């Protein structure tokens, strides 16, 4: 049984097919990879999760990773995080190389929760607001509070302390 090895796209090959605007985050075709693409057209499509993707040589690449390669000349060492959490915003200033954990810290809150704040929930038994945060894959409880805003403030301060630039409170 043969194992198909994925050969990474080089920066020069990427630049042969595409141009990239770091200010807008847009890729445009410089060379036609297929009969469907036209030179000058915006390249790629938006997938089901809201990320823009481009297919080259039969391999689908996320635009955020291609942008990193285009500007820095190297593939990212980890995941690429969107600083503003907007999946389709591939402007270079909005991208940063991150570990999986750092990328998770920068996620928006779960919209199905009982609170408008990330890491805050209503504790039915006590009638108070609970605050918690993920630390090394485990949930750490930060306490119970009479006011939702107090729980959110404690959670935000803890997030900044633990996660620095990757902290997200909203």
85: left (phi over 0), alpha (psi -120 to 50) or beta: left
- Tens of pLDDT, residues 15-55: 999 999 999 999 999 998 887 889 999 999 999 988 999 99
CATH number of 108-166, picked from 3.90.1170.30, 3.40.1440.10, 2.60.40.1220, 3.30.730.10: 3.30.730.10
What does residue 163 show for φ and ψ, rounded to 5 degrees?
A: -110, -5
* Nearest-angstrom CA–CA distance, 68 and 95: 8
- Tens of pLDDT, residues 71-94: 999 999 888 988 887 888 999 999
Task: Name the pTM for this structure.
Answer: 0.65
The third-level CATH classification (topology) of the domain covering 11-98 is Homing Intron 3 (I-Ppo) Encoded Endonuclease; Chain A (3.90.75)
Domain definitions of the chain by residue range: 11-98, 108-166
Q: CA 95, 96, 97: angle at the middle one, nearest 5?
A: 135
Instruction: Report the DSSP beta bridge partners of residue 134.
Output: 139
3 state SS of 132: strand
Strands 138-145 and 128-135: antiparallel
* Nearest-angstrom CA–CA distance, 107 and 166: 9
Average pLDDT, the chain: 84
């Amino acid at each position: 049984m043969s194992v198909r090895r994925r050969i990474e796209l080089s920066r020069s090959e990427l630049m042969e097919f595409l141009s990239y605007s770091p200010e807008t985050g847009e890729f445009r075709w410089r060379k036609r990879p297929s009969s469907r693409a036209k030179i000058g057209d915006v390249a790629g499509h938006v997938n089901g999760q809201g990320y823009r993707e481009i297919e080259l040589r039969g391999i689908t690449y996320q635009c955020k990773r291609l942008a990193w390669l285009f500007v820095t000349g190297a593939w990212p060492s980890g995941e690429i995080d969107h600083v503003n959490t907007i999946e389709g915003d591939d402007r270079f200033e909005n991208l940063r190389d991150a570990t999986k954990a750092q990328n998770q810290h920068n996620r928006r809150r779960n919209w199905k929760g009982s609170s408008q704040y990330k890491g805050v929930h209503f504790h039915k038994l006590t009638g108070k607001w609970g605050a918690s945060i993920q630390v090394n894959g485990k949930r750490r409880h930060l306490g119970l509070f009479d006011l939702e805003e107090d729980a959110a403030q404690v959670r935000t301060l803890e997030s900044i302390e633990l996660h620095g630039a990757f902290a997200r409170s909203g």
